[in-house]
Chains A and B, each alone.
Chain A
Amino acid sequence: MDKFKLTNLKADLKKGRTEIMLYPSKCDGCEGEEFHACIKACEEHMKEKYGKYSGARVSIKKKNGKFFPVICHNCDEAPCVDACMPGARYKDAETGWTLTNYKKCVGCWMCVMVCPFGAIERVEGSHFASKCDGCIDEDVPKCVSACKRNALLRTGIKNYSYERRLMVAKKMYGPYVKMHYAGIIKDKRG
């Protein structure tokens, strides 16, 4: 089968239209180490960026030896934006990311109630709901550069959408799905 080009990674990356792609099967919970590398990197970075509204935006959930990074999937019509009563969460028109104006957040937990990925954390002490902002102002998100196993990768939105569909299709139909296309992410670090 001829390779055909469905996506335009370079153009997307240039315009900052990026997503963080998850490969949960690659995550081993940073075995043998004290901290999850992504969480630590995120924590440090968020403190720098948001000050009072710090805390890691990524978390690792575990079940029977299986690990799963929980992070914002940047929904197109994000339920958290719909549910946010004060209007603290909004869509950034340029990059398409779901961002947060923490000054407006009152801690009503409406977004926690609707996020289908459980990606929003209730920060009890300082009374706000924290969520990943995609590090769109960075070249590479901190969690992505921290992950040694490539379980978190930065990619352009078109690739993201495509890869996600492929992942689901593979899970449902297994080996019958064979797709070739140019530009599939081999190395995102650049």
Chain B
Amino acid sequence: MKYVIIGNSYAGLSCVDAIRRFDKTGEITIISDEPYKAYARPLISYYLEGKTTDETIWYKDDNYYEKNDARTMFGKTVSSVDTASKNVVLDDGSIVKYDKLFIGTGGVPFVPPLEGFNPASPMMGTFTKLNDAKKMEAASKVAKNKEAIVIGGGLIGLKASEGLRALGMHVTIVELLPRVLGLALDEISGQITAKRLNKNGIDTVTNDTVIKINLDGTGNPESVTLKSGRELIADIVVVGVGVRPNVAFLEGSGIKVDRGIIVDKTMMTSVEDIYAGGDVVVTYDVINKRPNIIAIVPLACEQGRIAGANMAGVYREYPGGMGLNSVEIYGLPIITIGLTNPNDPSQSVFTYQEGETIYRKLVYSGEILVGAILLGNIDGAGILSAIIRQGAKCLSYKDEFLKGNIFSFVIDNEFEIYNINEGYAIRGDFKDLPEFSRTNWR
């Protein structure tokens, strides 16, 4: 059996692990357009802050590829997939044959139409790859006024700002929404976050956007003009608006794409023997109960694993995922789970606040918890994630949760909430495996 994996990151490697769990001999080839072994993509901002280094940013052990007997083709871009003859075509014209294909190509940064933006300039760019971080590191050294503008206050924009700030730049985030992390945070937590950022040298301009980058003689930015008419000095401009599924190379392949790759419950695409997972797919959102693109690490790993098991011939279904987020803003941890900004009036919201250090918000739909924000104190956050994902009834616990006694739910219910046979926690015991499948892992 020839397995080919496009994408050497969370989804792709989790798929490799799953294949190797069930198929020790099949041939595995991993293709990636980046020249490195797998690195922790979201850590590129920590890399700039020095919290991770050239030694620790690598996602897997050094001998990972040999240990898993995987052939690697790094620095090669896939230009198309020929589904009829089961070939992957690389940009140098060479061909890789597959029996089962996994597509985990992640996202490409989205750049809105913006006058003056030129990613080839050493002082401008997006922020999703290790090379982007290295570029910013170099740019900060030659920046004259130490002023950086980050367009977009979402997760990527925020991380880019933290990174640039650590390089000694004064950063201004320009965000179209009324607050940073506008989709995940609510007004109160957004305000607390903004204050933290401002105190640490990151300014936030909200309800506004950049309409033009003014260039100097050499094609590098000098300043930016905002929609509101303001002009801000800028040595560095980073566009961190978000990512879109990386599907351009699939055009004409017959694989169904609607924004992202459409997959079924087994993570198979519309073409047999081709699977996909990670930021590139449209997955089922268990909270909003509709297909959605949720670009986060935990889901990329889960989806890769389900796909890998199915590719190796072990039938498994993916129940769907939900949005989750964890950030730490200069010492203040914030976790958001599921639906945090409800606009359905039938849903009820409960909050608790202690100044600017602790904030909790719970969103209930009837008796079922569907979303939460924990700011300041995040102990037991995972219990809430489990409850929310499973849709357990827990309205009677709302006061305990607001007080921060999240463990009270577990104490009362002991192990019951984690349905062991269907398995949230002890998830390996699925039907198609022999009893006590946990031994198979070993």
Contact = CB atoms under 8 A, between A and B. Distances in A.
A22 B207 CA distance: 52
Interface in A120-138: 120-122, 124
Nearest to A73: B425
A114 B298 contact: yes
B386 A116 contact: yes
Contact of A109 (B41, B58, B326): B326
A99 interface: no
B411 A171 contact: no
B283 interface: no
Contact of A86 (B59, B333, B429): B59
A106 B46 contact: yes
Nearest to B309: A77
Contact of B43 (A70, A106, A112, A122): A106
B426 A164 contact: yes
A36 B416 CA distance: 25
A108 B326 contact: yes
Contacts of B324: 113-114
B298 A75 contact: no
Contacts of A168: 415-416, 420
B389 to A, nearest CB: 9
A117 B405 contact: no
A111 B379 CA distance: 11
A167 interface: yes
Nearest to B55: A103
B262 interface: no
A114 B418 CA distance: 13
Residue among A17, A87, A107 facing the most chain B CB atoms (10 A cut-off): A87
B216 interface: no
Given A87-B59, A112-B381, A17 B425 contact: no
B214 interface: no
A172 B427 CA distance: 20
A66 interface: yes
Contacts of B416: 168, 171-172
A172 B417 CA distance: 11
A77 B410 contact: no
Contacts of A106: 43, 46, 51-52
28 contacts: A17-B442, A70-B410, A75-B426, A76-B426, A76-B429, A76-B438, A85-B40, A85-B42, A85-B297, A86-B40, A86-B56, A87-B40, A96-B442, A106-B43, A106-B46, A106-B51, A108-B42, A112-B378, A113-B325, A113-B337, A116-B424, A117-B382, A161-B426, A168-B415, A168-B420, A171-B414, A171-B416, A172-B416
Given A112-B378, A167-B414, 10 more contacts: A61-B408, A61-B411, A70-B407, A76-B427, A79-B298, A82-B302, A85-B297, A104-B52, A114-B298, A115-B383
Interface of A: 17, 24, 61-63, 66, 68, 70, 73, 75-77, 79, 81-83, 85-87, 91, 93-96, 103-104, 106-118, 120-122, 124, 157-158, 161-162, 164-165, 167-168, 171-172
